Structure 1
Amino acid sequence: MSDTSRPALPFDIAGIRLDGPGPLTRQLVEQLRQRMLQGRLPAGARMPTTRELAGALGLSRNTVVRAYEHLLDEGLIKSRVGDGSYVTPPLAQMRPPAGTTDTWPAPGVPASTPQTPRWEALQHFTPSRTPAGPVRAFRWGSPAMDLFPATLWSRLQAQAWRRHNTRELAYGDPAGLPVLREWLADYLRSSRGLACNAEQILITGGAQQGIALAAMALLGPGDEAAVESPGYRSAAAALALQAARIHHVPVDREGLRPAALQALGARCRLVYVTPSHQFPTGVAMSLQRRMDLLDWAHRQQAWIVEDDYDSEYRHQGQPLAPLASLDNAGRTLYVGSLSKLMFPGLRLGYLVAPHGWLPTLARLRAVLDRHSACMDQQVMADFIAQGHFLRHVRRMRRAARERRDALLGAWARHVEPLGLPLPAPEAGLHAYLPLPDAALERRLAEAATAAHLEVGAMRQVGGLPEASARAGLVLGFAALPPAATSRAVQALAQAWRRALD
């Protein structure tokens, strides 16, 4: 379509290029988002209609409709019935004030000095253990491991060993296998909308190590850190290795409350969050909260560690964009893991840092354990390169949605009549059942354990103190097939009926 035949638009589309990797919808979302962050699509601006933009860019209208739906899900635009779509006002707060710059500490120089282990703190933040034996119903944190293509993986391992040379048996790059980092960068750009390259990615021994490495790199003597409450207690354990103190910041229906960070003072230099799918409550952080959190990090010269632990499992709509993709100031480190897509025992994760910081992080990794197993990294790279990974991701997403639906259907029939409705999770691998008090939480958890069912009590899973008024249970639904989940829900209903009598 020639420029003269294009309809007039309320913003300049010059520079929009949809010829990169990944689906057209994802590319369009990324470029519109970037224009909003740069102010080229200012707060309050009216968006073109889907028909106008499709015509101007030579796209199908369905592609533009899906892009707008994604921007609506992220809170970047708002739709007014009969009046079109408008850029959300809070975006104006995201751009740093004119004349200000944020800089990381000098690349290659660790931001903190070694400190003695904080054994007292770790006693309060004991990481959770996976029970021995076969997977039982409602085990949280477990993907559909029965769907893992073990035969294919074994074949790729054999191929990798047949073609290896002796150099690959020596020590490798502490940052990780370059080809795997390249593939992961491509995947994160296309599937998560995270603009990054291989020079920003460190391969880690799972998300847990990534969190610990971030704390070691960013926290100095006397620095403090904050975590969500309730939240992932193993993250608090990792941060406690370096932080002088761990603060617990309340979570509500919009996620972590950034206003509570203001009261913690200048010593709080890092906050750990799960904004796309909060653990364990399952809420997504609102756009306004994300803006406030980025603003806090910018003003305090503090850091955000974003754990995107199960972002691929979005049961309604597209996965929400990471907080790191909205951060223009370079204050966010993005932590991811392959455990929830492959299998937890693989122990491969990644840490995406702002430009220039990979040498520091790689040196820290080398000090800890050199690097992840080279051959495991090679097999994972082959798994991605040959197209198996994306097919596996699609299969795992379908299975998680089917298993979630099986849980919800059986729950409505057998447990909800007991007065315990279960909110439908929009993402992830577990459902969260809020309860009125800790006494009921304890009674139901004990009854489930007696019935050989694994449910997560909030005081254990969420790291809450006994005195907390928050109560609830976490129920995983991905570990078992739908039929097994339905039978387990019936058994749970029987156990709870006796406990509630």
Structure 2
Amino acid sequence: MNMPSTSSTPPASARRQEASLDLPVDPPRDGESKQAWVYRQIRERVLKGALPSGARLPSTRSLAQRWRIARSTVEAAYDQLRGEGYTAGTVGSGTYVAAVIPDNFFRKGLPGESGASLGADARDKAGKAALAPVSLAAGRPARPLPYEQPATPAEQAEPAEPPFASRSADAALFPMTAWSKGLAASARRLTPAQLARDEPQGWPALREQIASYLGAARGIVCDAAQVVVLSGIRDGLDLCGRILLTPRDKVLIEDPGYVNAVPIYRPYTSGVVPLPIDAQGFAVARARRLSGVKLVHVTPAHQSPTGITMPVSRRLELLDWAAQAGVWVVEDDYDSEFNYDGAPLAALKSLDGADRVIHCGSFNKTLFNALRIGYAVVPRALAPAFAEARRKTGRSGSLIEQMTLARFLEDGGFARHVRKARGVYARRRDAALQALRQAVGADALRVSGEHAGFHLLWWLPSGWDARQVVEAGRKAGVGVQDVAEFARKATPAPGVVIGYSAVDEARLRRLGALLAALRPGRARG
């Protein structure tokens, strides 16, 4: 399988005009601090469009003079806005409205609007990330990246982690203090009757919050009766196999694709068929030529591992075929919350008029791996079967964690955390791209999937050895895998998958230096 050359399209022009904040301002609310007041004035203008994407904010000194408040107060408000993803900026480039404005769900639940928040400390140390435009012309980043000091010897000697660890949520960003308080509060609220209840489909309040979240963030119209709380996406895939498949059925998976798909579905059928993807993802035309297909597994938002986003035309083609052929479609929506250069497409499930899509997602990917809470939105006809399968397998999750997560979603803590993490991961994405620009020198840089998620795919130029690149990643402590490891029968072009979400920038800089030394034809000193 030969993938086309793929490059990133930068967001709107990097030319930024300073926004006027001489508009009328509302007086502070009762009990509202000056910092909160400044923050609210700017945030409301961003959400109403008065401050458009890319608009440069006045300097902290200038705004402090205009609004007659202390400069330190403005600086604190600017830090909060950057931490929550509304603005971005680096030393020397000022502060400007971020390229990706938080979507409908992620605009809700701000401090002071609904009382005490479970996630109130989510605006902490890691919140100064910049959402940088990306230019893939060799050696020309769209603007300087916020690098700190060079890696220390201790950082350079940091032991390598398994490749998948670099493609995970960074648990260090999570507001664990607030979460711990939420767990304690949930435990205090539990009644003996609640402890005795059997909720195989999941805690009702959590299912309601998940349905609300998916409606706002992913465009999925559903209710709590369609939501099943799981331990993660793999749990959902296993249930799909258990409930829907017989030994004679065919399951189509993307090739290259999710490496765990085959072992998950194989216990239920021997007919697991890898289907080579094309430039738009899952190849529906090829699928139509196969008989006996009962289920297909796709990653339409950010194809694993290439990062391709399935266009709407292909999504409609897939849904049309599924409805005609009676095929169930499993939508693996593993990292859709993290888009860096534009709003994501609505979920495949949002277009599912025939109710053939099972939408699977996971809070393990957005919060921290050890949480072990995911979800599926299932067709109404399948909801009783999924609940019964959960009951029989005894896989119901901890009630206390489910109650705490429901509160975290309701009070805006989840939205704040995702906004903050989105900015941090964007900065690390930029650092990974900068490392690759350093590696290729004057040559063209070809990547895919860099617009979203936790990883990107670097299509290697002629003369590069994937094994050496993987070894450089190991030395730097960055997860790097040969794309061939994700393939079953397809033969992808030479490339490597680079995970960056849980990797600090020092290690990514180290990777750039190691790769630059491997550049074919580079003179050795």
User: CA–CA distance in 1 between the matches of 2:190 and 2:463?
Assistant: 56
Q: Could you give the per-residue CA deviations for residues 36-57 of structure 1, whole angstroms, max 9, x where no partner exists? A: xxxxxxxxxxxxxxxxxxxxxx
Task: Give the 3 Å change call, closer, same or farther, for CA 500–154 of structure 1 in structure 2.
Answer: farther
What's the CA shift for 1:454?
Answer: 2.5
| Correspondence for 1:206 | 232
User: CA–CA distance in 1 between the matches of 2:502 and 2:308?
Assistant: 21
Match of 1:276 among 279, 285, 301: 301
Match of 1:161 among 187, 192, 200: 187
| Correspondence for 2:505 | 482
| Correspondence for 2:134 | none
What's the CA shift for 1:271?
Answer: 0.5
Residue 348 (structure 1) aligned with residue 373 (structure 2): yes
Task: Give the 3 Å change call, closer, same or farther, for CA 213–24 of structure 1 in structure 2.
Answer: farther
Residue 301 (structure 1) aligned with residue 360 (structure 2): no
What's the CA shift for 1:380?
Answer: 0.8
What's the CA shift for 1:450?
Answer: 4.9
Q: Alignment partner of 2:381: what SS?
A: coil
What's the CA shift for 1:210?
Answer: 0.5
Q: Alignment partner of 2:341: what SS?
A: coil
| Correspondence for 1:421 | 445
What's the CA shift for 1:176?
Answer: 0.2
Match of 2:279 among 253, 262, 272: 253
User: What one-letter code is carried by the residue in structure 1 that aligns with 2:505?
Assistant: P
What's the CA shift for 1:189?
Answer: 0.3
Question: Which stretch has the larger CA shift, 144-153 or 133-142?
Answer: 133-142
Is the CA contact 2:330–2:360 (under 8 Å) kept in the aligned structure 1?
A: yes
Q: Could you give the per-residue CA deviations for residues 269-308 of structure 1, whole angstroms, max 9, x where no partner exists? A: 1110011111100011122221221121112111110111
User: CA–CA distance in 1 between the matches of 2:493 and 2:330?
Assistant: 24
Is the CA contact 1:404–1:478 (under 8 Å) kept in the aligned structure 2?
A: yes
Q: Could you give the per-residue CA deviations for residues 83-129 of structure 1, whole angstroms, max 9, x where no partner exists? A: xxxxxxxxxxxxxxxxxxxxxxxxxxxxxxxxxxxxxxxxxxxxxxx
Q: Could you give the per-residue CA deviations for residues 414-469 of structure 1, whole angstroms, max 9, x where no partner exists? A: 21218572426111111101236999323422343355542122232x1435x835
* Runs of 5+ consecutive residues of structure 2 not aligned to the other structure: 1-46, 50-99, 105-157
Task: Give the 3 Å change call, closer, same or farther, for CA 291–159 of structure 1 in structure 2.
Answer: same
Residue 239 (structure 1) aligned with residue 265 (structure 2): yes
What's the CA shift for 1:143?
Answer: 1.8
Is the CA contact 2:256–2:492 (under 8 Å) kept in the aligned structure 1?
A: no
User: What one-letter code is carried by the residue in structure 1 that aligns with 2:236?
Assistant: G
Residue 220 (structure 1) aligned with residue 246 (structure 2): yes
Q: Could you give the per-residue CA deviations for residues 221-265 of structure 1, whole angstroms, max 9, x where no partner exists? A: 311100001000112221222123111111122111101112221
User: CA–CA distance in 1 between the matches of 2:368 and 2:160?
Assistant: 14
Task: Give the 3 Å change call, closer, same or farther, for CA 438–371 of structure 1 in structure 2.
Answer: farther
Is the CA contact 1:324–1:332 (under 8 Å) kept in the aligned structure 2?
A: yes
Q: Alignment partner of 2:364: what SS?
A: coil
User: What one-letter code is carried by the residue in structure 1 that aligns with 2:273?
Assistant: H
User: CA–CA distance in 1 between the matches of 2:194 and 2:523?
Assistant: 60
Q: Alignment partner of 2:301: what SS?
A: coil
| Correspondence for 1:385 | 410
Residue 468 (structure 1) aligned with residue 494 (structure 2): no
User: What one-letter code is carried by the residue in structure 1 that aligns with 2:183?
Assistant: Q
Q: Alignment partner of 1:456: what SS?
A: strand
User: CA–CA distance in 2 between the matches of 1:500 and 1:393?
Assistant: 44
User: CA–CA distance in 1 between the matches of 2:256 and 2:522?
Assistant: 26
User: CA–CA distance in 1 between the matches of 2:514 and 2:459?
Assistant: 20
Residue 310 (structure 1) aligned with residue 310 (structure 2): no
Is the CA contact 1:441–1:473 (under 8 Å) kept in the aligned structure 2?
A: yes
| Correspondence for 2:436 | 411
Task: Give the 3 Å change call, closer, same or farther, for CA 240–486 of structure 1 in structure 2.
Answer: same
User: CA–CA distance in 2 between the matches of 1:272 and 1:338?
Assistant: 20
Task: Give the 3 Å change call, closer, same or farther, for CA 133–217 of structure 1 in structure 2.
Answer: farther
The higher relative CO (CA closer than 8 Å, separation ≥ 6) is in 2
Is the CA contact 1:206–1:348 (under 8 Å) kept in the aligned structure 2?
A: yes
Q: Could you give the per-residue CA deviations for residues 133-185 of structure 1, whole angstroms, max 9, x where no partner exists? A: 88589844212222111111111111112222233433530000000000010
TM-score (ref. length: structure 2): 0.65
Number of positions where the alignment pairs a residue of Structure 1 with one of Structure 2: 373
User: CA–CA distance in 1 between the matches of 2:389 and 2:48?
Assistant: 38
Is the CA contact 2:250–2:293 (under 8 Å) kept in the aligned structure 1?
A: yes
| Correspondence for 1:93 | none
User: CA–CA distance in 2 between the matches of 1:485 and 1:418?
Assistant: 20
* Runs of 5+ consecutive residues of structure 1 not aligned to the other structure: 1-22, 26-65, 71-131
| Correspondence for 1:40 | none
Match of 1:178 among 200, 204, 220: 204
Is the CA contact 2:431–2:505 (under 8 Å) kept in the aligned structure 1?
A: yes
What's the CA shift for 1:332?
Answer: 0.8
| Correspondence for 1:373 | 398
| Correspondence for 1:152 | 178
User: CA–CA distance in 2 between the matches of 1:368 and 1:498?
Assistant: 58
User: CA–CA distance in 1 between the matches of 2:328 and 2:48?
Assistant: 32
Q: Alignment partner of 1:227: what SS?
A: strand
User: CA–CA distance in 2 between the matches of 1:187 and 1:367?
Assistant: 28
User: What one-letter code is carried by the residue in structure 1 that aligns with 2:280?
Assistant: E
Is the CA contact 1:148–1:343 (under 8 Å) kept in the aligned structure 2?
A: yes
Task: Give the 3 Å change call, closer, same or farther, for CA 171–493 of structure 1 in structure 2.
Answer: farther
Is the CA contact 1:443–1:499 (under 8 Å) kept in the aligned structure 2?
A: no
Question: In percent, how many aligned pairs have the same letter?
Answer: 35
User: What one-letter code is carried by the residue in structure 1 that aligns with 2:447?
Assistant: P
| Correspondence for 2:425 | 400
Task: Give the 3 Å change call, closer, same or farther, for CA 499–160 of structure 1 in structure 2.
Answer: farther
User: What one-letter code is carried by the residue in structure 2 that aligns with 1:464?
Assistant: R
Question: Which stretch has the larger CA shift, 472-481 or 198-207?
Answer: 472-481
Q: Alignment partner of 1:356: what SS?
A: helix
Is the CA contact 2:483–2:496 (under 8 Å) kept in the aligned structure 1?
A: yes
User: CA–CA distance in 2 between the matches of 1:167 and 1:274?
Assistant: 40
What's the CA shift for 1:215?
Answer: 1.8
1:3-82 superposed matches below 5 A: none
Q: Could you give the per-residue CA deviations for residues 465-498 of structure 1, whole angstroms, max 9, x where no partner exists? A: 5x83543211111112334433343244346679
Task: Give the 3 Å change call, closer, same or farther, for CA 179–331 of structure 1 in structure 2.
Answer: same
Is the CA contact 1:227–1:247 (under 8 Å) kept in the aligned structure 2?
A: yes
1:440-455 superposed matches below 5 A: 440-450=465-475, 452-455=477-480
Is the CA contact 1:223–1:243 (under 8 Å) kept in the aligned structure 2?
A: yes
Q: Alignment partner of 1:272: what SS?
A: strand
Is the CA contact 1:137–1:477 (under 8 Å) kept in the aligned structure 2?
A: no
